[in-house]
Amino acid sequence: MSLPLYSRSIRNIKLARLTRTPIVSSSQFTPSLTRQLHTSPIRMSDSSKPKNDSEWRAVLSPEQFRILRQKGTELAGTGQYNKFYEDGIYSCAGCGTPLYKSTTKFDSGCGWPAFFDALPGAVTRTEDRSLWSVRTEITCTACGGHLGHVFKGEGFPTPTDERHCVNSVSLKFAEDKNVKNE
C-alpha cells in the first residue's frame, strides 16, 4: 500500500529527525559537504528521542540555549558572523547539520548574517505571529533549533529575493575553500 505524497514527506522528516541526518538528496552531497557532516564538532546523540532542556544545557552555552532552544535573538551587529566572509559551510551550532554555503551569504546591512538560500531540506519554515506581526521563522530541520527569520520581496539583488536573517550564535563555521568552486 502506497502512502500519499504528503504522508511520505512527513514520514521522511520524522525519520530524518530520528536518525539526525539532514534531508538532502545524495546528488547534493559534494565531497566537502560530506566531510563537513562527518567532522562537525557538535553532533546530536544517537538516541532516537529528542534532547530535553537539561541535555541541551549540557552541550550549549547559555547564550546558545537562549537563542536555539528559547527562540531568542542576539543584539544586531554583535554576532561573530555578521561581517564574516570566508569560504566554507555554516552548520547548526546545536547539532552540526550543514545549513548554508558561504556562497549564499550577502551583506544586507541588517546586523545579522544574511543568506539568500539554505541547503535543500536543512531549514524548516514556520509562521511566527509573535511581536504583533506575521513573520516566517526558520529552524534547523534536524534538531529544531531556532535560527532566525526569513524575509521575502525586499529587493536584494539575489537569485531568490529572500533574506535569511540568522543569529550568529545559532551557527558554527567550517572553512572549505572548495565551496566557491562547487
Residue with cell 560530506: 34
Distances (CA, A) of 121 to 12, 66, 138, 154, 162: 11, 24, 12, 23, 16
SS3 102: helix
The secondary element (H helix, E strand) that includes residue 137 is: strand 135-140
Q: Residue 140 catalytic?
A: no
SS3 181: helix
Distances (CA, A) of 1 to 8, 89, 137: 12, 40, 35
Distances (CA, A) of 67 to 92, 123, 124, 133, 151: 12, 16, 16, 20, 19
The active-site residue, picked from 92, 95, 140, 165, is: 165
Rounded to whole angstroms, the Cα distance separating 44 from 117 reads: 24
CB 148 within 8 A of CB 167: yes
The set of catalytic residues is 165
